[in-house]
């Protein structure tokens, strides 16, 4: 587990979703949809692997994921948390964080827009089309649970002391 605070803002900017805009006909650009008021900096966020995709989640987000065999209204828990962050700190898992999980509840089951397959053979009078709609599940993130390890505060204090010592040496060198 790695605690990092210096590059947290740059990493957060790189992981921010594109607000769920439609990029073209029937193409959904980002799986995370921004809810009203989500432009306010969140207290805590998590990067979770669901299926084979990674999602940046904030409590209150609505996410469209691959179909889950869960009833509407039930609570589900995602244990494969890759990163947890806050305004002041970030914890990276190697590869996952054992003592973190994200809970969400199922809002509804939907079908994706139809994907069309066209078949055409010139001069053969053969043409046809088939369509397919992927089943999806819409979940709403309830909470992000994270219990930092006992030595985490000690690591943060050591990092602060090392950073302050570095700043002092840089100031001494710049004055000379």
At 81-125, the pLDDT tens digits run 999 988 777 888 889 998 899 999 999 999 999 999 999 999 999
Q: Quick check: 14 pLDDT over 70?
A: no
Tokens representing 16 are 């921010």
70 vs 36, higher pLDDT = 70
Q: Taking residues 18-22, what's their average pLDDT?
A: 37
Are 111 and 133 contacting, i.e. CB atoms less than 8 angstroms apart? Answer: yes
Indicate the range of 62-76, 97-111, 142-156 predicted with least confidence: 142-156
Percent of the chain scoring above 90 in pLDDT: 48
Q: Taking residues 66-73, what's their average pLDDT?
A: 94
pTM, to two decimals: 0.62
Residues whose CB falls within 8 Å of the CB of residue 146, separated by 6 or more in sequence, listed in order: 44, 46, 81, 84, 91, 97, 99, 100
Identify any residues that bridge with 13 across adjacent strands, giving them in sequence order: none
Q: Taking residues 31-47, what's their average pLDDT?
A: 58
């Amino acid at each position: 587990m790695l605690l990092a605070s210096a590059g947290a803002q740059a990493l957060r900017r790189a992981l921010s979703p594109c607000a769920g805009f439609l990029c073209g006909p029937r193409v959904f650009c980002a799986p995370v949809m921004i809810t009203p008021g989500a432009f306010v900096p969140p207290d805590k966020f998590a990067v979770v692997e669901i299926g084979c995709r990674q999602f940046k989640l904030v409590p209150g987000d609505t996410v469209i994921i691959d179909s889950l065999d869960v009833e509407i209204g039930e609570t589900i828990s995602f244990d494969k948390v890759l990163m947890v962050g806050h305004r002041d700190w970030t914890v990276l898992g190697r590869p996952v964080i054992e003592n973190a999980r994200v809970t969400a509840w199922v809002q509804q089951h939907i079908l994706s827009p139809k994907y069309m397959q066209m078949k055409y053979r010139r001069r053969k009078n053969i043409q046809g089309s088939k369509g397919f709609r992927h089943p999806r599940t819409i979940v709403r993130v309830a909470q992000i649970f994270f219990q930092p390890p006992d030595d985490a505060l000690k690591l943060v204090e050591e990092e602060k002391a090392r950073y302050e010592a570095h700043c002092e040496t840089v100031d001494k060198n710049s004055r000379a």
